[in-house]
């Protein structure tokens, strides 16, 4: 699959919480938890389940960097 988004974070699904309309997907990305909210229909179409290897694809016009 080809995408225009440059930011792809490979990870493993930690949990899938299905709501009536939306689904919360938690990913383990190199030891950091990344949360995504997608439609329930998309989660079901992708058949997402704990342990699946997926990529979080981030398409944004702006990415901020913070340094402490």
Kindly report, residue by residue over 14-26, the tens digit of the pLDDT. 999 999 999 999 9
Q: Where are the domains of the chain?
A: 12-58
Give me 43's structure tokens: 């989660």
CA distance 50 to 35: 14
Q: For residue 40, give the 3-state DSSP assignment.
A: helix
Kindly report, residue by residue over 7-58, the tens digit of the pLDDT. 889 999 999 999 999 999 999 999 999 999 999 999 999 999 999 999 999 8
The pTM (predicted TM-score) of the whole model is: 0.85
Does position 64 have pLDDT exceeding 90, yes or no?
Answer: no
Does position 1 have pLDDT exceeding 80, yes or no?
Answer: no
- Fold observed for domain 12-58: OB fold (Dihydrolipoamide Acetyltransferase, E2P) (2.40.50)
Q: Write the DSSP symbol of residue 4.
A: S
């Amino acid at each position: 699959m080809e995408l225009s988004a440059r930011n792809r974070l490979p990870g493993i699904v930690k949990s899938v919480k299905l709501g009536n309309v939306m689904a919360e997907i938690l990913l383990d990305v190199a030891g950091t938890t990344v949360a995504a909210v997608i439609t329930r229909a998309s989660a079901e179409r992708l058949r997402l389940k704990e342990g699946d290897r997926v990529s979080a694809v981030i398409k944004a016009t702006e990415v901020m960097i913070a340094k402490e």
